[in-house]
Structure 1
Amino acid sequence: MDENDFLAERFTADRPRLKAVAYRMLGSLSEADDAVQEAWLKLHRSEASEIENLSGWLTTVVGRVCLDMLRSRTARREDSLEVRVPDPVVQGEGVLDPEQEVLMADSVGLALLVVLETLGPAERLAFVLHDMFGMPFDELSPIVGRTPAATRQLASRARRRVRDTTAVPDDLPRQREVLDAFIAASRGGDFEALVAVLDPDVVLRADVGGAPMMASKEVRGARQVAGQAMLFRQYARFARPVLVNGGVGILTAPGGRPLSVMGFTVVGGKVVEIDVLADPERLSRLELAFPAG
């Protein structure tokens, strides 16, 4: 086996983990693929024979690429949009390919990714690489250009934000019960039944991208969120339960054309968060497969 074949084999073995790092950093599946591809190109341009720890080197490169992408995103003011819902990982029950399995390790729900979106680029990098992938601070610090102590503080601030704003969801069977009740109430147009399954302080985030005649929004409160659900009652019969980032969700695809993906966070038998991606352009890139029925 020559060096190129050896590198290709090693890179292929590391690729799922590298994409998992990039997905947590960027909240975008397509951008995660771009970051991983950039790491492959950098590997080809490097003196690979001098790299002692190839997996660690690739992780560092992906981290740097993602950090640059996040800083560029901020500079272009893309984050000035009122709401941005990360790309969901959608699957049917019992359907999970190996790459999805790595992506979903550690139960990276949409709610957590939404919180990560609120972090600064350096904080997000420190939290993802240290707390989620165990990279030591002395290896992280050169990536963010700070001392190990300062990098530790970045991760600590991010950890507090995550801890204070994310809740541990119910187990999957309980989540399914709540989702079934939500779908039934939506299809029946039962406003009070919808309110009953929602936490009083439920938050709905809807990201429609550049869709005409609509606006991305954040809605709070059970009756307000139920009112939004009632506005789209005509699409409820096209709603199919799926798993979204390991939790329950709904894929709505009238005529086989994806209209929206909704991820639900269920805590204490109530829906506390609903994250909706309804951006047609982004949905078209997800290669969604929808259940029959």
Structure 2
Amino acid sequence: MDERQRLINLAYRLLGSLADAEDVVQETYARWYALTDAQRADIKVPAAWLTTVASRVCLSLLGSARVRRETYVGEWIPEPLPEPTEWISGGAADGGVDPADRVSLDESVSMAFLVVFESMTPAERVAFVLHDVFRYPFADVAEIVGRSSAACRQLASSARRRIREARADAGPSAGHAAVVRDFKAAWGAKDIGAMIGLLDPDAVWVADGGGKALTILDPMVGGEQIARAYLRIAEVAPAHTLLERTVNGLPGLVVQQHDRIVTVFAFEVVDERITRIWAVRNPDKLRPWAMR
């Protein structure tokens, strides 16, 4: 069970869903305990066996996920995660955070990275995450993916190229938190001029309601258009509280209504302006944010 946290971390990066990651780990352990004592004794490195099985389960799920998302209502955004100390795992019986269920937060788990991961083929994603994030040698990656080491090197290289192309202008912004805080203040004050000034002219807003929460179905492009849309939301939205929270390792915002988180916002900030807003409203994806 010491491997559980590492497997959760791996599966979440591969699938973009904590719920699916937990299912993968459960399936991995079910296969482990289905072995006989003699079979388990023959496995020299249990951690490597667990990683191989979990990665292959993820690889299979990634293929079927593409088919499922063809019928998804609106845009699909990876499941947002709060700071580990801010959320409670569904598996923590005592109401506290179970360390085994935490996802460690680094650049590879930022919303911007996870969205780029979605553009990769399943094999590219697995090769990149295993090698570049978890530092597995290509020989081990090849065994998991079922391709040669040379092919896995090409897969990882292709994945890196996708990331470079998608995030050519992006990078860590020292002013990220300040920009998000200013956006919160401007939105709360219904200051349309300030909101437009904080948004890049070509900013993109993507929302995910999954057909279960009201939101835009298609991405909205244009800083002024987005600002005016957010102003209309502020004017008609029910009573709520807008809170600053860590979202996938970076400053973000959440909307709380009646002690319940109903929307999570993640941001990409470049040159002190917001270039991307991801708004997740699908209640199925807000489970880690449930207030206890």
**Shorter-chain TM-score category?**
0.7 to 0.9
Confirm or deny: 8 A CA contact 1:122 1:144 kept in the other structure: yes
Q: Is the alpha carbon distance of 1:79 and 1:36 closer, same or farther for their aligned partners in structure 2, counting shifts above 3 Å? A: farther
Task: State how 1:36-115 maps to structure 2 within 5 Å.
Answer: 36-46=25-35, 47-78=39-70, 82-91=74-83, 95=86, 98-99=99-100, 102-106=103-107, 108-115=109-116
AA aligned to 2:219 is: E
d(CA) in 2 for partners of 1:239 and 1:169?
A: 24
d(CA) in 2 for partners of 1:211 and 1:38?
A: 28
Q: Which structure 1 residue ranges, 5 or more long, are not aligned?
A: 1-11
Calculate the TM-score normalised by the size of structure 1: 0.86
d(CA) in 2 for partners of 1:79 and 1:161?
A: 25
Structural RMSD (CA): 2.3
**Which secondary structure does the structure 2 equivalent of 1:274 belong to?**
strand
1:178 match: 179
1:118 match: 119
State whether structure 2 residue 186 is matched by structure 1 residue 194: no
Q: Which structure 2 residue ranges, 5 or more long, are not aligned?
A: 88-96
d(CA) in 2 for partners of 1:52 and 1:131?
A: 25
Q: Is the alpha carbon distance of 1:77 and 1:175 closer, same or farther for their aligned partners in structure 2, counting shifts above 3 Å? A: closer
State whether structure 2 residue 21 is matched by structure 1 residue 32: yes
Deviation track 1:42-98 (CA, whole Å, cap 9, x = no partner) reads: 111232111112212111111000011111122344476552111111139x74754
d(CA) in 1 for partners of 2:213 and 2:181?
A: 31
AA aligned to 1:263 is: A
Name the % identity: 38
Confirm or deny: 8 A CA contact 1:86 1:114 kept in the other structure: yes
Confirm or deny: 8 A CA contact 2:83 2:247 kept in the other structure: yes
Confirm or deny: 8 A CA contact 1:111 1:275 kept in the other structure: no
1:9 match: none
Q: Is the alpha carbon distance of 1:102 and 1:130 closer, same or farther for their aligned partners in structure 2, counting shifts above 3 Å? A: same
Confirm or deny: 8 A CA contact 2:251 2:266 kept in the other structure: yes
Calculate the TM-score normalised by the size of structure 2: 0.86
Among 257, 270, 277, which residue is 1:254 paired with? 257
**Which secondary structure does the structure 1 equivalent of 2:261 belong to?**
coil
Q: Is the alpha carbon distance of 1:181 and 1:77 closer, same or farther for their aligned partners in structure 2, counting shifts above 3 Å? A: closer
AA aligned to 2:3 is: D
Deviation track 1:22-54 (CA, whole Å, cap 9, x = no partner) reads: 000000010000001111111112321111122
Among 7, 10, 35, which residue is 1:21 paired with? 10
More helix by share: 1
Confirm or deny: 8 A CA contact 2:255 2:264 kept in the other structure: yes
d(CA) in 2 for partners of 1:230 and 1:113?
A: 28
